[in-house]
Structure 1
Amino acid sequence: MSDVELICEKSFSEVDCEIVNRFIEFQQAMIDKNKDKLVEIIADDYKLVHMSGKTQSKSEFIDEVMDGTLNYFKSEIHDPTILHDGEKSASLIADVCLTAKVYGIDGKWTLNTVVSFKKIDGIWKLGDWEN
């Protein structure tokens, strides 16, 4: 059973579907605290910009997911749009509703999300996540 729900009525091209599915995998890996999957999905130069403006690297983000500082429970991805910049770069834009306990605060937040993706060795990886 997935804790990630895609709320969308549009259909996607094969490539767009790959990107959306990769983001769903990422969200589920955050919820499951699956370190191996997070390491696989996130590019080494990943940068997360939190709502507060705090910026984290790949290792900082994964460490805080794993130690329970960032606890994700449910994700709803609303009407994602994929924008391409060539064949190896794309962005996913969507409202993402996360139910979480972040830095000790429980809540449900709607994040106006822009996630960059880059194709590395034939695999889509998350580059940056701004919300």
Structure 2
Amino acid sequence: MTDKEAVLQLYRDHNKYMVAGDVKRLGALLDDDFYLKHMTGMMQDKATWLGEIQSGQMHYFSSDEAHVDISELSDDQAVLVGQSQVDASIHGSRNTWPLELTLHDQKIDGQWRIMYITARMY
């Protein structure tokens, strides 16, 4: 698998495990210092975000991919921008959002990991 294919698969696995609520597999994709900046500006570290998924505070029903672009790719760093229609219940409020995630990835010991994500609507 090329680096480009691996970065794309990382994004797709992230979405798949997020929707499945599989915090173990999702967590394995994320760096220990991972953080997520939500479209509201709220920042969450890895443990907090995964904890809210596990508790059901954040429940993702579906994520339908619309467009993906790998805007930067080097031997050990990548930036991927993915747009999806995301059906989710966030702290009790359910909606479908046109969500754009920017994943900042790094290859560590031969394995691509998500360092941080910024989310916004498109």
TM-score (norm 1): 0.84
Cα pair distance change 1:111/1:66, threshold 3 Å: same
Counterpart in 2 of 1:27?
15
Alignment of 1:1-131 (within 5 A): 14-131=2-119
- Would the aligned equivalents of 2:61 and 2:87 in 1 still touch at CA under 8 Å? yes
Instruction: Give deviations 1:52-83, integer Å, cap 9, x for gaps.
Output: 11000011110000000010011122221113
RMSD: 1.4
**Letter of the 1:75 counterpart:** S
**Percent sequence identity over matched residues?**
23
Q: Which amino acid aligns with 2:74?
A: G
Q: Any idea what SS the aligned residue of 2:74 has? A: coil
1:59 is paired with a residue whose SS is helix
Q: Which runs of 5+ in 2 are unaligned?
A: none
- Using structure 2 for the length normalisation, give the TM-score: 0.90
1:85 deviates by 4.8
The 1-side partners of 2:9 and 2:57 are apart by 26
Deviates more, 1:48-57 or 1:93-102: 93-102
Please give the alpha-carbon distance, in whole angstroms, between the structure 1 residues aligned to 2:52 and 2:87: 16
Instruction: Count residues with an aligned counterpart.
Output: 119
Stretches of structure 1 that go unaligned for 5 or more consecutive residues are 1-12
Tell me, in whole angstroms, the C-alpha distance in 1 between the residues paired with 2:12 and 2:73: 21
Deviation per CA, 1:26-62, whole angstroms, max 9, x where unpaired?
1111111112202210111111011111000011110
Q: Which segments of structure 1 move beyond 3 Å, counting only runs of 4 or more?
A: none
Deviation for aligned residue 1:119: 0.8
